């Protein structure tokens, strides 16, 4: 959230029910004379109407620099395409994906939970009418679906419109909606994000390191995977392993509110993504009865602009019954070997900076700190 040059992933305090969002009609922003007939079903809106036909919540007296459009529920396909294109442009410029995978999944599947998504967007016109408008910035709020799941907010500004008040205008719109208290990830923690966070009254509370391993480091430091006796590794099979994977994931991440709460709907959404490869989801099963004991889900990020393709240690999980066997290290090494077998020159992963045991393990496997994401939480609130 609150980023001029990267996005923030945010986690909100739990609420019992996702509210309905509707912007009341008030006087439109006077600087915008252009109008189009709005669609009641979330069409790409005109710049002075929201997606449901309600006038923007701004007047000449309190209008932000950029007029903000609000969409409740799933955006239309053309708006979704605009958001994906904006995210791609930001990643090409920054080297950091500005929208998390879960946010993109929610944008594509929010018609199944229409009260769980709220989108704030602002378009810049090139003077050629609505068809010539370009998405300058967007904030996507994934509201909690249960008391156990936190809400998530991410915000990104197109590189060509940074330092022009877009991020500040989006933040002001979010503040006016009085959303649940938010926690925010700054991907890359660039200077503009730090400044905007400070202005909004947010302070850093957590660091998440991104670590990277090169092929040369693999050859120099990574031993062969040693699988415990009575356990074998195999790849995921669609139509067979979904429920056992969900059970193992819930057990392995019972302490983790996001990962441990994954549902079959979440799993199906990820398997529908272009990047999913069943051969890259490695399972550890007990030979005696086929019980799933752990897994390593790998991921490949395709080349984006000047940034080459890179592999990721996406999720490594071991069930409580199998912990202490060395299975986590064996699965990690097996996944690393799989990714490098695809010809990738580098692999990345995320780890909490204060998880000293995990950091030590990854360093022993040739990973070095590459970048850092910083979580911010509200401190002294400020009006923008």
CATH of the domain at 195: 3.40.630
Locate 339 and state its tokens.
């990714």
**Cβ(312)–Cβ(346) under 8 Å?**
no
> Which pLDDT score is estimated for 62?
45
For residue 2, being part of any structural domain is answered with no
Residue after which a domain boundary falls, among 179, 200, 221:
200
| Nearest-angstrom CA–CA distance, 237 and 155 | 36
| Nearest-angstrom CA–CA distance, 16 and 178 | 16
Q: Per-residue pLDDT tens for 328-341? A: 999 999 999 999 99
90 & 170 share domain? yes
For residue 176, being part of any structural domain is answered with yes
| Nearest-angstrom CA–CA distance, 99 and 293 | 31
Angle value at C-alpha 149, between 4 and 20, nearest 5 degrees: 75
Question: How far out from the chain centre does Cα 368 lie?
Answer: 23
For residue 382, being part of any structural domain is answered with no
Mean pLDDT of all residues in 370-378: 84
**Cβ(290)–Cβ(326) under 8 Å?**
no
| Nearest-angstrom CA–CA distance, 69 and 85 | 18
Mean pLDDT of all residues in 290-317: 92
193 & 317 share domain? no
Count CB-CB contacts under 10 A for residue 233: 18
Here the CATH number for the domain that contains residue 332 is 3.40.630.30
Q: Per-residue pLDDT tens for 122-176? A: 999 765 544 558 999 999 988 877 666 667 788 899 999 998 999 889 988 988 8
Burial class of residue 56 in the structure, from the number of CB atoms within 10 Å of its CB (0-12 exposed, 13-18 middle, 19+ buried): buried
309 & 361 share domain? yes
329 & 348 share domain? yes
195 & 218 share domain? no
189 & 259 share domain? no
For residue 371, being part of any structural domain is answered with yes
Beta bridge mates, 138: 121, 156
Residue after which a domain boundary falls, among 175, 200, 225:
200
192 & 300 share domain? no
pLDDT band of 317, cuts 50, 70, 90? very high
pLDDT beyond 80 at 293: yes
| Range from 28-32, 42-46, 350-354 that averages highest in pLDDT | 350-354
Name residues whose C-beta falls within 8 Å of residue 181's C-beta, 6 or more positions apart in sequence.
Answer: 12, 13, 378
> Which pLDDT score is estimated for 296?
98
pLDDT band of 94, cuts 50, 70, 90? confident
Residue after which a domain boundary falls, among 200, 221, 249:
200
For residue 158, being part of any structural domain is answered with yes
> Which pLDDT score is estimated for 159?
93
pLDDT beyond 60 at 61: no
Top pLDDT among 155 and 319 is at: 319
161 & 223 share domain? no
For residue 271, being part of any structural domain is answered with yes
Q: Give the least confident one: 18-22, 85-89, 138-142, 209-213.
A: 18-22
Length of the chain: 384
Query: Model pTM?
Result: 0.70
Number of domains observed in the structure of the chain: 2
Q: Per-residue pLDDT tens for 181-196? A: 777 778 788 787 788 7
For residue 383, being part of any structural domain is answered with no
303 & 265 share domain? yes
61 & 172 share domain? yes
| Nearest-angstrom CA–CA distance, 311 and 344 | 7
Q: Give the least confident one: 25-39, 104-118, 210-224, 282-296.
A: 25-39
31 & 95 share domain? yes
For residue 380, being part of any structural domain is answered with no
| Nearest-angstrom CA–CA distance, 23 and 281 | 44
Task: Report the phi/psi class of residue 206: left, alpha or beta, with left for phi > 0 and alpha for psi in -120 to 50.
Answer: beta
Q: Which domain holds residue 83?
A: 8-200
State percent of the chain over pLDDT 70.
Answer: 77
260 & 174 share domain? no
Residue appearing with tokens 């966070």: 197
> Which pLDDT score is estimated for 28?
29
């Amino acid at each position: 959230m609150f980023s001029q040059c990267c996005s923030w992933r945010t986690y909100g305090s739990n609420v019992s029910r996702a509210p309905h969002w509707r912007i009341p009609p008030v006087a439109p922003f006077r600087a915008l004379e252009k109008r189009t007939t709005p669609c009641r079903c979330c069409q790409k809106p005109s710049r002075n109407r929201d997606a449901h036909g309600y006038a923007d919540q701004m007047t000449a007296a309190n209008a932000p620099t950029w007029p903000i459009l609000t969409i409740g529920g799933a955006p239309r396909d053309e708006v979704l395409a605009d958001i994906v294109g904006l995210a791609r442009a930001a990643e090409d410029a920054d080297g950091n994906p500005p929208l998390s995978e879960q946010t993109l999944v929610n944008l594509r599947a929010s018609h199944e939970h229409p009260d769980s998504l709220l989108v704030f967007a602002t378009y810049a016109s090139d003077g050629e009418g609505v068809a010539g408008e370009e998405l300058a910035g967007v904030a996507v709020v994934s509201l909690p679906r249960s008391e156990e799941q936190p809400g998530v907010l991410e915000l990104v500004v197109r590189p060509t419109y940074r330092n022009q008040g877009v991020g500040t205008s989006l933040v002001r719109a979010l503040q006016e909606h009085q959303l649940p208290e938010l926690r925010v990830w700054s991907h890359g923690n660039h200077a503009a994000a730090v400044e905007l966070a400070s202005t909004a009254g947010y302070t850093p509370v957590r660091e998440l390191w991104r670590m990277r391993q090169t092929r040369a480091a693999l050859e120099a430091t990574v031993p062969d995977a040693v699988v415990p006796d009575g356990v074998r590794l195999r790849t995921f099979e669609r139509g067979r392993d979904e429920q056992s994977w969900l059970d193992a994931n819930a057990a392995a991440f019972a302490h983790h509110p996001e990962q441990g709460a994954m549902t079959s709907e979440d799993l199906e959404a990820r398997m529908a993504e272009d990047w999913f490869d069943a051969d890259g989801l490695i399972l550890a099963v007990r030979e005696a009865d086929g019980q799933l004991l752990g897994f390593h889900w790998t991921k490949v990020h395709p080349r984006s602009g000047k940034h080459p393709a890179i592999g990721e240690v996406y999720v490594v999980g071991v069930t409580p019954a199998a912990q202490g066997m060395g299975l986590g290290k064996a699965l990690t090494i097996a996944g690393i070997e799989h990714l490098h077998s695809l010809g990738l020159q580098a692999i990345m992963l995320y780890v909490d900076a204060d998880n000293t045991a995990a950091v030590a393990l990854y360093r022993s496997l040739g990973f070095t700190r590459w970048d850092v994401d910083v979580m911010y939480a509200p401190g002294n609130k400020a009006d923008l």
